Structure 1
Amino acid sequence: MSRNAQEELLGFSFADGWFLLLVPLLLLLWLLIARRRLPALGVASVALFSDLPSGWRVRLAQLPLHLSALALLALSLAIARPQKLDRIPVESEGIDILLVLDLSSTMAERDMDAGGERSRLEIAKAVARDFVQRRDGDRIGLVSFALFPDLVCPATLDHQALDRFLRPLKHKAQRSPENRTGIGAGLALAVRQLEESESPGKVVILLTDGMENVNAITPEDAAKLAKKAGVRVYTIGAGGQGAGQGLFSLARSTDFSVLREIAEATKGQFFEAGDAEALGRIFDEIDQLERVELLDRLYRAEERFLPFLLSGAGLLFLALLLRATVLLAWP
């Protein structure tokens, strides 16, 4: 039985568990001795003494034997070193991740949902939320962009707080003056948040369904900033198949070549998601690609052998005391 199983079953585990092999041997020896009754007086037949009253000394004659057996059992458990393992909390070095989401009006299209009920943005948020919940130990933040980039939530270990910022995100209205796609500016803002980080890994996951049409900062320049800062960028082109079902669907196919170039320049990867299932698989793959090797769990061992040792010693002393005094057997 593993030590973890022992902990769950007993509340403690044994460091030198092989000493427990002594327990069945001691029990067997105890049974053999208990069954064997040495005569105190040699007679032809015990029937001669059948009518004699038996006192409490006779009834308790084997008590020292039983106490000795229990003492040896307790001592066997003591030398097996029972311990209580307390896990030592270790601050794991996770990585820093910034999600960068497009909020332009085309994210309202419903072409990625087989039932036509959820928009691209709703699907992206649902998949991103699931991804965040799996990233224990990582600091994750959120940047959105349309005409202007916006730091919605700085990188944080409080994933519930991030979720509260992520859920209410809305796409821009089609006629809004902010309804543009500033990929370069969004990526540049994310890189600025990560460039001072001392994390062993700095990652941006950028999702958009369109092409750059702001150029305040070009995607190429933003990619150079990311490369210089050591930020790896995973880019995801969502939809863009010309099969939109929503009010703002476009009868065209989106050119994601810029996204490929950003990923290649920063040693990331480019993905294209035509539907919700594909987007889920992409985030699963990124989740596996960006895993840091965690340290082995550390435990503090609290020795629990003393109660068994004292019990065994006490029982053995009591057995010897009884055998030498009130239960003394005369030859």
Structure 2
Amino acid sequence: MTLDYDLLEALLAQVDFGLLPDGTAIGSAIANGVNRLADSRARSRILVLLTDGENNAGPIDPLTAARLAAERGVRVYTIGVGREGIARVPVQTPFGTRYRRMESHIDEAVLKRIARETGGRYFRADAPDALAAVFATVDRLERSEVAAPVYHRYGELFPWPAAAALGLVLLEILLRAGPLSAAG
């Protein structure tokens, strides 16, 4: 976890989705997430699984991974994104990115079971606004205190007294060398 959102945005901007092979490895994604949370001492450990399809790749069965998550105390919130039916899908070709019309199917039954077995919830987001609402709901469900270090920006105050002292020294020099100095 990080509180450095600028760094997170910079790292996400570097992600190249074109290098990924076609397929959805839901079980592998859950197992990888559980593994990364293994050393976390956080009070609430969750995964948010966002998918537009069904498990069709990877060596780990999604329900086996869900049982692993439940055993390790990790809740999985599953989100089915997109619409059922024919969808335009970007495909990398030697000539660049092309769009191909493909059948899209979200395995809601498996996503609901994953959420239920881990103590999470299943959400359906078939529009951009719906996805924002889902994330807001998850945020409300998993609200927790995060101890963030407090940084103070200190400003140097030295120049102000130094300038006043310099002004007094210059005034002293002028008074000693000026017309009033002969009278004293």
Q: TM-score range by the shorter chain?
A: 0.5 to 0.7
Kindly report which structure 2 residues correspond to 1:266-281, keeping only aligned pairs within 5 A, or say none.
266-281=118-133
- Listed as ranges, the gaps of 5+ residues in structure 2 are 90-98, 148-184
Question: Aligned residues, how many?
Answer: 138
Equivalents in 2 of 1:249, 1:266: separation in Å? Answer: 34
1:229 corresponds to: 72
Equivalents in 1 of 2:31, 2:86: separation in Å? Answer: 31
Which segment is superposed worse, 232-241 or 249-258? Answer: 249-258
Q: 1:217 to 1:232 in 2, by over 3 A?
A: same
1:256 corresponds to: 108
Q: What is the identity, as a one-letter code, of the residue corresponding to 1:166?
A: L
Deviation at 1:255, TM superposition (A): 2.3
Structure 1 counterpart SS, 2:85? coil
Deviation at 1:252, TM superposition (A): 4.6
Deviation at 1:181, TM superposition (A): 1.1
Larger Rg: 1
Structure 2 counterpart SS, 1:249? strand
Structure 1 counterpart SS, 2:101? coil
TM-score by length of 2: 0.67
Deviation at 1:161, TM superposition (A): 1.6
Q: What is the identity, as a one-letter code, of the residue corresponding to 2:8?
A: L
2:87 corresponds to: 244
Equivalents in 2 of 1:282, 1:167: separation in Å? Answer: 23
1:219·1:262 contact (CA, 8 Å) conserved in 2? yes
1:288 maps to 2:140: yes
Equivalents in 1 of 2:53, 2:33: separation in Å? Answer: 18
- Listed as ranges, the gaps of 5+ residues in structure 1 are 1-138, 140-155, 296-331
Equivalents in 2 of 1:256, 1:248: separation in Å? Answer: 24
1:168 corresponds to: 14
Deviation at 1:225, TM superposition (A): 1.1
Equivalents in 1 of 2:43, 2:130: separation in Å? Answer: 29
Which segment is superposed worse, 158-167 or 199-208? Answer: 158-167
2:27 alignment partner, one of 184, 189, 193? 184
Q: 1:196 to 1:293 in 2, by over 3 A?
A: closer
Deviation at 1:180, TM superposition (A): 1.7
Deviation at 1:226, TM superposition (A): 0.6
Divergent runs of 4+, >4 A: none
